[in-house]
Amino acid sequence: MINQRYYAAMGDKSVIRELAAYAAKRGEEIGEENVFNYSLGNPSVPVPQIYTDTMIRLLKEEDPIRLHSYAPTLGVESVREKVAASLRRRFGIPYEKIHIYPVSGAASALSHAMRAVGTPGQEIVIQAPFFSEYRQYVQGADLIMKVVPANFETFQIRFDEMEKAITENTAAVLLNSPCNPSGTVFTDETLTALSELLKKKSEEFGHIIFLISDEPYREIAFDGKKVPYPSHYYDHTLSCYSFSKSQSVPGERIGYIAVNPKCEMADQMTALFGQISRGIGHNGPSSLPVYTMGETIDETSDLKVYEENMNILYDAFRRLGFTVQRPGGTFYLLPKALEDDSVAFCKKALKYDLVFVPGDGFGAPGYFRVAYCVPTEKVRRSVAAIERFCAEEYGVKPNA
Amino acid sequence: MINQRYYAAMGDKSVIRELAAYAAKRGEEIGEENVFNYSLGNPSVPVPQIYTDTMIRLLKEEDPIRLHSYAPTLGVESVREKVAASLRRRFGIPYEKIHIYPVSGAASALSHAMRAVGTPGQEIVIQAPFFSEYRQYVQGADLIMKVVPANFETFQIRFDEMEKAITENTAAVLLNSPCNPSGTVFTDETLTALSELLKKKSEEFGHIIFLISDEPYREIAFDGKKVPYPSHYYDHTLSCYSFSKSQSVPGERIGYIAVNPKCEMADQMTALFGQISRGIGHNGPSSLPVYTMGETIDETSDLKVYEENMNILYDAFRRLGFTVQRPGGTFYLLPKALEDDSVAFCKKALKYDLVFVPGDGFGAPGYFRVAYCVPTEKVRRSVAAIERFCAEEYGVKPNA
C-alpha cells in the first residue's frame, strides 16, 4: 500500500533541518538577530551581481521558447562546452563537453555518480567525518555505506583503516575536500597516497574503484591556499560540483559532474547519467540556471567573509581551550565538545541561543559542527554568548 | 564496475528525442522552416509575459539570499499554500499546504508518486496508449508496468481488460487525461466507472489501490469543454501537475503533486515524498521557478493556437481517409498509419520532411503521433507535404 522502506525512513529526519527550524521559531520569539544559528550551511553572502544581471538579461533578450524549452537528455551542449572549457583552463585537464553532465546540485551529482558506478549491494567507502546526508544518497542507490573511522588529530585519511575498508565489493571511495563538517582540505600527500591505494586495490580486485569527489566547497579556501584537485591525482575520478556555496544559490539546484577524460568509460559515463536521470524522473536542472551557469561559470560570491568568521570563532574556541582543528576551507568548524555527549552539549548551548549541530550524524560523536555562514557582526556578538555558555555550564573561562 | 542495469538500458534510447535530433540536423541542411517537426512535445507558444515579468521582479526586488536559499525539505510553505488555495478555488476540494509537494516537472511527480505507493515488485496498471517514458519511471522505481490494451475506437478505458489487469499486486493505476499521445479526455462516465472499479478492487484485495493522475495537459482542452478532474471521482488520487505545457516552461522543471485530502495517509504523503527525494538527491525544484509558480499559479500561455493547429491537421487527415479520433485536448493526434508497420510509415514520411513518431513506444503499434506544437503557418504549409506523401507513397488522395 505504501512503500514501507521510505515510510520507516521518515523517522530518520535531518537533525540539521530540525535545528534550523527550531532556530527559525526561536527567532520569531526573541528576534532573529538574537539567535546565533550555526546549524545550516546556507550561504550568508549574496549571489554575485553578475548572476542576477545575467538572469535578467536572458529573460529580457532571449527567445522565451528557446530559453525555457526542454534540454537535450544530456544537457544544453553549449553550456556543457563552457563548463569543459573553464575546467580545462583552471585545471589543465582536457575535458570535453562529453565529460560534463549538468545536474541539480551536489546531492543530485552524488546520487547519479553512485548509481552509475555501483551495483546494488556494493559499498561506498567514506572517511569520517562526513556530511550526514551521504547516508541518504547511498541507501537511496541501494548501496552500502562503509565508514572509515575519523582521524581526530588531523582529519586526514586513516590509510590503515581505509585499506581495510576497501574490499572486492567496493564500488567507490567518496571524498569531500574541503570537508563538511571538519573544514579539512585533503593535502597533496593524502591525495597521492589515496591514488596509490586505489590503483593497488583496483589491480588487486580486478576492477576499477572509482573516486567520487564531492567539491561544493572547492572555492572556499583559507590562508591564500588552493585546494588540491582530486582528479589531478587519480584518473577514475568523478568530480561533483555545485554552485550552491560558491555563488550562494543553493535553492537553484545547479551544478555538474565532470568525468576525468582518462576515467574508465569516460566517453560513455554522461550517457549513463542520462539513463539514470530518466529512471528517477529528474531530467536535468532548470534551464534558466543552466544558461546562467554557462555565462557566469568563473564567478563567485565575495567568499572572504567566511575566513573572517572562521578566524573569530577559531580564536574564541582556542582561547576557551577547545580541541579544534583550524579549517583549510568551507564555512564549518568541528570542535570537540566539553563533555562526551555532544547531543547534551548542543542542547545546553540552546539555552544561550547558540545553535550547534552534534557531530554524531557526521560520524564524529563528541564533536559539534559550527556553520559560520552568518553575518560577521553576529559572529562577533556570539563570542560573548559562547563564553557565557562555557563558563556557566562547564566552569570554563577564556585564556588571556 | 559499472551498473549493468543502467548500462544495458542505455540502448533503450528515447525514439522521440532521436527523431527530434534528426529534425534539428535536417533543419540545418534545408532550413528549419522546411522541416515539419511533429516529434517533440515542446510548446510552441511563448511563456506568459507575466511569468517573465515576475521572474525579473523577484530578481530585482527580493533579498537575493532568501530568493536563492535552500527550501525546506517539503518546499516553500507560502508557495505550497498558494497552490492549495488555487486548487481549492478551481476544484472545490479542501486542499491544504500539507497536501502539496513541489516537484521538478511531471516526470519527477510521477516518479515520486510511484515510489511512495509502490513497493518494488508491485505493479502499476496503465491504459494504452501511454506516454513512452512511463516505462522508465516505472522501471526506475523497481515496479512492473502492466499495460491494458488500447481501445482504438474511443481511446477510453477498456474496463474488461482493466479489471483483469488489476490484481492483489497492483499498487496504482496511472491515468493521463488529456492523454499523450491520443489527445483523449477521459469522460465523466469513464472516471465514474474507474472509481467504482478501484473501490471494488481495493476492498477485494484489502489494500488501497491508488490513482496516479498525470495532468500536464489539464489546461489544454478543446471545443470549450473542461477536463473532468480525476480527484473529484476517487479519493485516493495523487494529482501530478507540471507547468511545462500550460505555461510553456518545460525546461524550468516545475510542477507539484496534490494529494487528495481524503487520500489514504493524506497528511503524511508529502513527508513520504520528501524522504524519497532525499534518497534520489532531488531536493526539490529550483527556487526562482518555485517562487514564480506561487505568483503566476493561475496564468497560462495563449493555448488556443493548439486547437487551431489540431483542426487543420484533423481535417487534413480526415480528408485523406485516415482513421483518427478527434482529440479533446493536448497538442497530439494519433492517427492510424496507412500500413501496419508504423515505423516504416514514419520512415517514409521523413522523405517529405514530415517527422512523426511511430506509435509502437506508446503501446499503439500501427498508429503514429503528431505533436502539433509548431507555428500555425507551418502547420498549414505541412498539409501539402502530407498530401504529397500520401499520394506518392500510398496512392491516397484527399476527398473533396
Is A6 part of the contact surface with chain B (CB cutoff 8 Å)?
yes
| Cβ-Cβ contacts under 8 Å, A14 against chain B | 73, 278
Residues of A in contact with B104 (CB under 8 A): 104, 253, 281-283, 286
Alpha helix (H) ranges present in A214-341? 266-280, 287-295, 304-319
Residue of A nearest to B253 (CA): A286
State residue B334 phi and psi, 5-degree precision: -130, 75
What DSSP element (H or E) covers A204? helix A188-205
With b for 16 or more beta-carbon neighbours within 10 A and e for fewer, the B352-383 pattern comes to: bbbbbbbbbbbbbbbbbbbbbbbeeebbeebb
pLDDT at B182: 98
Instruction: Give DSSP secondary structure letters for A78-144.
Output: HHHHHHHHHHHHHH-----GGGEEEESHHHHHHHHHHHHH--TT-EEEEESS--TTHHHHHHHTT-E
Distance between CA atoms of residues B231 and B262, nearest Å: 10
B385 & B330 share domain: yes
In this structure, are residues B271 and B74 in contact, taking their beta carbons and an 8 Å threshold? yes
Shared-domain flag, residues A228 and A180: yes
Contact status, residue A233 vs residue A192, Cβ threshold 8 Å: yes
**Closest to A236 in 3D by CA, of A271, A272, A274, A198:** A198
A282/B282 touch (CB, cutoff 8 Å), yes or no: yes
- Measured CA to CA, the distance from residue B188 to residue B235 in angstroms comes to 15
**Each residue of A30-49: pLDDT tens digit?**
999 999 999 988 999 999 99
- Min distance A7 CA to chain B CA atoms (Å): 6
pLDDT at A400 over 80: no
Nearest in space to A238 (alpha carbons), one of A70, A83, A101, A342: A101
Distance from CA of B399 to the nearest CA of A (A): 37
Q: Does B216 touch chain A (CB under 8 A)?
A: no
CATH code: domain of residue B60: 3.40.640.10
- CA–CA separation, A112 vs A137, rounded Å? 9
Asked if the C-beta of A264 comes within 8 angstroms of chain B's C-beta atoms, the answer is yes
Whether pLDDT at A211 is above 90: yes
pLDDT, average across residues A317-337: 98
SS3 annotation, chain B: CCCHHHHHHCCCCCHHHHHHHHHHHHHHHHCHHHCEECCCCCCCCCCCHHHHHHHHHHHHHCCHHHHCCCCCCCCCHHHHHHHHHHHHHHHCCCCCHHHEEEECHHHHHHHHHHHHHCCCCCEEEEECCCCCCHHHHHHHCCCEEEEECCCCCCCCCCHHHHHHHCCCCEEEEEEECCCCCCCCCCCHHHHHHHHHHHHHHHHHHCCCCEEEEECCCCCCECCCCCCCCHHHCCCCEEEEEECCCCCCCHHHCCEEEEECCCCCCCCCHHHHHHHHHHHHCCCCCCHHHHHHHHHCCCCCCCCHHHHHHHHHHHHHHHHCCCCCCCCCECCEECCECCCCCHHHHHHHHHCCCEECEEHHHHCCCCEEEEECCCCHHHHHHHHHHHHHHHHHHHCCCCCC
- Contact between B288 and A47 using a beta-carbon 8 Å cutoff: no
Q: Considering only the beta carbons, identify the residue of B60, B111, B116 that sits closest to A281.
A: B111
Tell me how far apart the alpha carbons of residues A371 and A346 are, in angstroms, rounded to a whole number.
13
Q: d(Cα A212, Cα A205) in Å, to the nearest integer?
A: 18
Q: Which of residues 70-99 of A touch B (CB under 8 A)?
A: 70-73
Domain harbouring A310, CATH code:
3.90.1150.10
pLDDT of residue B15: 80
CA distance B304 to A319: 70
Same structural domain, B57 and B133: yes
Kindly list the distances between the CA atom of residue A311 and the CA atoms of A316, B100, B186, in Å, as whole numbers in the listed order: 8, 43, 64
The pLDDT score that the predictor gives to residue A15 is 80
Residue after which a domain boundary falls, among B240, B262, B295:
B295
Instruction: Residue A300: name the closest of A223, A239, A248 by CA.
Output: A248
- Of A356, A357, A352, residue with least CA distance to A384: A352
Interface probe for B, chosen from A19, A70, A122, A139 (most Cβ of B below 10 Å), is A70
Contacts of A198 in chain B (CB under 8 A): none
User: Chain-centre distance of CA A96, in angstroms?
Assistant: 25
> What letter represents residue A321's amino acid?
G
Count of CB atoms situated within 10 Å of the CB of A163: 13
Element at A17 (helix H, strand E): helix A15-30
Residue type, B337: A
Number of other residues whose CB lies within 10 A of the CB of residue B395: 8
pLDDT at A73: 85
Interface of B with A in 337-366 (CB under 8 A): none
Nearest residue in B to A54, CA atom: B59
Rounded CA-CA distance B277/A280 in Å is: 10
User: Does residue B400 belong to the interface with chain A, where contact is any CB pair within 8 Å?
Assistant: no
pLDDT tens digits, B229-243? 999 999 999 999 999
pTM: 0.96
> Alpha-carbon distance B38 to B180, whole Å?
13
Do residues B155 and B264 share a domain?
yes
- Residue A300, pLDDT > 70, answer yes
pLDDT, mean of residues B253-272 = 96
B59 and B121 together in one domain: yes
pLDDT at residue A382, rounded to an integer: 98
Q: Which domain holds residue A59?
A: 49-295
**Together in a domain, A358 and A243:** no
Give the cell for residue A86. 573553464
Q: Tell me how far apart the alpha carbons of residues B247 and B219 are, in angstroms, rounded to a whole number.
A: 10
Do A54 and A19 sit in the same domain of this protein?
A: no
Distance of alpha carbon B220 from alpha carbon B305, whole angstroms: 10
Question: Cell digits for A345?
Answer: 552539549
Q: Among partner residues A59, A250, A275, which is closest to B6 by beta-carbon distance?
A: A275
Residue in B69, B70, B136 nearest the CB of A279: B136
SS3 A239: strand
Q: B241 - beta bridge partners? A: B256
Give the integer Cα–Cα distance in Å for A296 and A183: 26
Q: Give the pLDDT band of residue A399 (cuts 50, 70, 90).
A: confident
The vertex-A331 CA angle with A329 and A337, nearest 5°, equals 105
B384 located within any domain: yes
Tell me the shortest Cα–Cα distance from B55 to chain A, in angstroms.
8
- The minimum CA-CA distance between A398 and chain B, rounded to whole Å, is 34
Q: Is B300 on the interface with A (CB under 8 A)?
A: no
Residue A135 C-alpha cell reads as: 547516508
Q: Which helix (H) or strand (E) holds A383?
A: helix A376-394
The model's pLDDT over B182-225, given as tens digits with 9 standing for 90+, comes to 999 999 999 999 999 999 999 999 999 999 999 999 999 999 99
pLDDT at A14: 75
Same-domain check for residues B63 and B159: yes
3-state secondary structure of A174: strand
B154: pLDDT confidence band, cut at 50, 70 and 90?
very high
For residue B400, being part of any structural domain is answered with: no
pLDDT computed for residue A11 by the predictor: 66
- CA-nearest residue to A11 within chain B is B275
Residues B166 and B238 in one domain: yes
- The verdict on A93 and A179 lying in the same domain is yes
Region of residue B316 (phi > 0: left; psi between -120 and 50: alpha; otherwise: beta): alpha
Choose, out of B63, B270, B282, B331, the residue to mutate when testing the contact with A (most A CBs < 10 Å): B282
H or E element that contains A56: helix A49-61
Residue of chain A whose Cα is closest to the Cα of B142: A279
Number of neighbouring beta carbons within 10 Å of residue B9: 19
Considering A253, A278, A295, which residue would you say is the last residue of a domain?
A: A295
Of the partner residues A1, A70, A272, the one whose CB lies closest to the CB of residue B6: A272
B41 and B56 share one domain: no
A47 at interface of B, judged by CB pairs closer than 8 A: yes
What is the average pLDDT value for chain B, to the nearest integer? 95
Per residue in B323-335, pLDDT (tens digit) is 999 999 999 999 9
What is residue B4's predicted lDDT score, i.e. its pLDDT? Answer: 84
Percent of chain A with pLDDT over 90: 90
- Which amino acid belongs to residue B5? R
Nearest Cβ partner for A252 among B21, B68, B264: B68
pLDDT at B87: 98
- Cis omega (within 30 of 0) for bond into A250: no
ipTM of the complex: 0.95
H or E segment and range at residue A189? helix A188-205
Domain-located, residue B173: yes
Contacts for B312 with CB less than 8 Å, ≥ 6 apart: B376, B379, B380, B383
Distance separating alpha carbons of residues A60 and B178, to the nearest angstrom = 33
Residues of A with CB below 8 A from B289's CB? 286, 288
Asked if residue A348 and residue A218 are part of one domain, the reply reads no
**Residues in chain B closer than 8 A to A59 (CB atoms):** 52, 55-56, 59
Rounded to a whole number, what is the distance in angstroms from the first to the last CA of chain A?
Answer: 63
Q: Choose the closest CB to B248 out of A68, A117, A254.
A: A68
B264 touches chain A (CB under 8 A): yes
Distance CA B325, CA B345 (A): 19
Produce one character per residue of B59-70: b if its CB has 16 or more CB atoms within 10 Å, e if not: beeeebbebbbb
Does B59 reside within a domain?
A: yes
Which residue of B lies nearest to A252 if distances are taken between CA atoms? B286
pLDDT band at A7 (very low <50, low <70, confident <90, very high): confident
Interchain pair B68, A249: CB under 8 A = yes
- Give a yes or no: residue B399 inside a domain: no
Q: Say whether A386 sits in a helix, a strand or coil.
A: helix
Among A238, A272, A295, the domain-final residue is A295
Distances (CA, A) of B242 to A5, A24, A171, A254, B251: 27, 31, 36, 20, 11
Partner-chain residue, chosen from B3, B272, B276, that has the shortest CB–CB distance to A115? B3
Q: What is the mean pLDDT of residues B275-300?
A: 94
Q: How do residues A146-184 score in pLDDT, each as one tens digit?
A: 999 999 999 999 999 999 999 999 999 999 999 999 999
In the DSSP assignment, the letter for residue A336 is B
Residue that is written with C-alpha cell 509575459 in the block: B49
Is A154 contained in some domain? yes
CB contact residues (below 8 A), chain B span 223-252, against chain A: 248-252
Here the cell at position A398 is: 577564556
Domain count, chain A: 2
Instruction: Output the pLDDT for position B309.
Output: 98
Average pLDDT over residues B47-57: 98
In a domain, A400, yes or no: no
Whether residues B60 and A56 touch (CB distance < 8 A) is answered with yes
Residues 125-184 of B with CB under 8 A from A: 133, 136-137, 139-141, 171
The reported pLDDT for the residue numbered B283 is 75
In a domain? residue A314: yes
- The beta strand positions in A177-248, using DSSP E, are 210-214, 237-242
Residues of B in contact with A169 (CB under 8 A): none
Is the bond preceding A178 in cis, omega lying within 30 degrees of 0? yes
